[in-house]
Amino acid sequence: MQPRVFPQTIIARKRDGHVLTPDEIAAFVHGVVRDEWTDYQTAALLMAIFLRGMTAEETSCLTVTMMHSGVVADLAGVPGVKVDKHSTGGVGDKVSLVLAPLVAACGAPVPMMSGRGLGHSGGTLDKLESIPGFRVDLPFDVYAAQLGRIGVAMIGQTAELVPADRKLYALRDATATVESIPLICASIMSKKLAEGIDALVLDVKFGRGAFMKDTARARELAAAMVGIGRAMGKPTRALLTSMDQPLGCAVGNTVEVVESIEALKGRGPADLMEVTYALGVHMLLLARIASHPADARRRLETAVASGAALAKFRELVAAQGGDVGVIDDYSRFPQAPVVREVIAPATGYIVDVDPLGIAQPALLLGAGRINVAATVDHAVGITGLMKIGAPVRAGDRLCTVHARDDSDLPGILQQVSAAFKIGPARVAPPRLIDELVE
């Protein structure tokens, strides 16, 4: 029998910059799962890891231990190469809502386990739950059966899969430790490896609206996750993508689902579709559905143009108990009762849209969680965002704010307005796709 390792001992060792042993990491993970560690002890170690970091070996050990903190799914009975995508999070990033049914419509099984809002970034599960009746809490057997039947499932963590991450995820959000590369790696890769995938494509974002502010840090994170995937025998690729303005034209929950449906109908914003297609190409290549990038891109565009991707989304919504009627009638979504336009103060061109200047007001509206106990208001958000490079005249609408009530609204409108910068000359929008890490 191994001697007990006390939480305060492990916290102190990491606080002082030591490398944690596999036994200490196991004691931490199992202690969290069994509620033997209090929230304040767990938070203390998370902060120590944030400040002191982890070696590649520690990070890999933490990932594998978290993965095995619950059941590791076996999807061998589902034919085909099961391929998933994960984003490190950004402002207006609703790519998963478009990409999962799109890739499934092309013939690749997509088992997608997603998360809730983290920090200033929105969560795929929160967005899906704005569809009345949509269930993200499918038991594993139902999840596996659905994947075999329609080729796609979008769920949250089940009670069986990676229980350690459920508590750590919430505490990271509440303790300002989200940006830690080892913690991001362990959280993402433990869940992805536990969900039964054969291959993985990562969207690692950098810029003002991302958790990784510069490309060097994003590249470091991408390389770490690709290395873990490769070591576990799962082909993994990562794209570095820019988050220096919101992705698409909507930020919120319902409003982003509506924009995603529009994208599946062939009316998606150009930047959203560029990122979606870029990630989809690599998913189809890893799934061995397409033989080369041009073939993969053609298949994706055809699936949108033919209506096959939208039809797959209908199947997904119906399979998970959602109101399919929202796809054709957006009024069936939750609606915010207060709608206000933000007006351009001058004539010129949009030269900047600060993503955090949009995300933080959306958070104040209730589109995300300020703390662990907060509930999300699915109806509120911001729509019609003007993009960098667009011409604008004084008095034009820069965007529209959807709110629950008038409280704090003047200040929120002022913050949103300040996120836009107008200049005399047109500037090019930021390059979206930076590089591939494999």
Q: For residue 327, what is the enclosing H or E element?
A: none
What CATH number is associated with residue 19?
1.20.970.10
**What is the C-alpha separation between 71 and 269, in angstroms, rounded?**
39
Are both 231 and 357 inside the same structural domain? no
| C-alpha distances in Å from residue 231, one per residue of 225, 226, 239, 272, 273 | 10, 9, 19, 31, 31
CA angle 356–252–94, rounded 5-degree value: 90
Are both 315 and 410 inside the same structural domain? no
Tell me the residue type at 126: D
Are both 110 and 237 inside the same structural domain? yes
3-state secondary structure 47-99: HHHHHHCCCHHHHHHHHHHHHCCCCCCCCCCCCCCCEEEEECCCCCCCHHHHH
Are both 104 and 182 inside the same structural domain? yes
Domain-embedded: residue 211? yes
Phi, psi of 212 (to 5 degrees): -95, 115
**What is the C-alpha separation between 137 and 419, in angstroms, rounded?**
36
Tell me the residue type at 228: I
Are both 182 and 236 inside the same structural domain? yes
Are both 343 and 306 inside the same structural domain? no
Q: How many domains does the chain have?
A: 3
Domain-embedded: residue 146? yes
Answer with the one of 265, 293, 327 that is the final residue of a domain. Answer: 327
What CATH number is associated with residue 101?
3.40.1030.10
Answer with the one of 300, 327, 354 that is the final residue of a domain. Answer: 327
Are both 312 and 217 inside the same structural domain? yes
**What is the C-alpha separation between 143 and 46, in angstroms, rounded?**
31
Domain-embedded: residue 61? no
Are both 248 and 380 inside the same structural domain? no
**Average pLDDT per block of 10 residues along the chain, 438 residues long:** 80 97 96 94 97 94 94 90 94 97 98 76 87 93 94 86 86 86 92 92 94 91 93 94 97 97 98 98 98 97 98 98 98 96 98 96 88 82 98 98 94 97 95 94
- DSSP-based three-state secondary structure for 137: coil
End-to-end, the C-alpha distance of the chain in Å comes to 41
Domain-embedded: residue 23? yes
Domain-embedded: residue 429? no
**Paired tokens of 348:** 């010129």
| C-alpha distances in Å from residue 260, one per residue of 136, 245, 304 | 18, 18, 12
Domain-embedded: residue 74? no
- Count CA within 13 A, CB hemisphere, residue 341: 9
Answer with the one of 308, 327, 346 that is the final residue of a domain. Answer: 327
Q: Show which residues are catalytic.
A: 86, 165, 172, 187, 191
Are both 339 and 322 inside the same structural domain? no
Instruction: Report the Cα 238 to chain-centroid distance in Å.
Output: 14
The pLDDT value recorded for residue 114 is: 84
What CATH number is associated with residue 415?
3.90.1170.30
Domain-embedded: residue 58? no
What residues contact residue 6 under an 8 Å CB cut-off, 6+ apart? none
User: 186 is in which domain, residue-wise?
Assistant: 83-327
Residue 394 exposed, middle or buried by CB count within 10 Å (0-12, 13-18, 19+):
exposed
Are both 404 and 286 inside the same structural domain? no
The pLDDT value recorded for residue 118 is: 61
Cβ–Cβ < 8 Å for 112, 102: no
Domain-embedded: residue 69? no
Are both 222 and 126 inside the same structural domain? yes
Cβ–Cβ < 8 Å for 342, 401: yes
What residues contact residue 420 under an 8 Å CB cut-off, 6+ apart? 342, 344, 350, 352, 353, 357, 386, 398
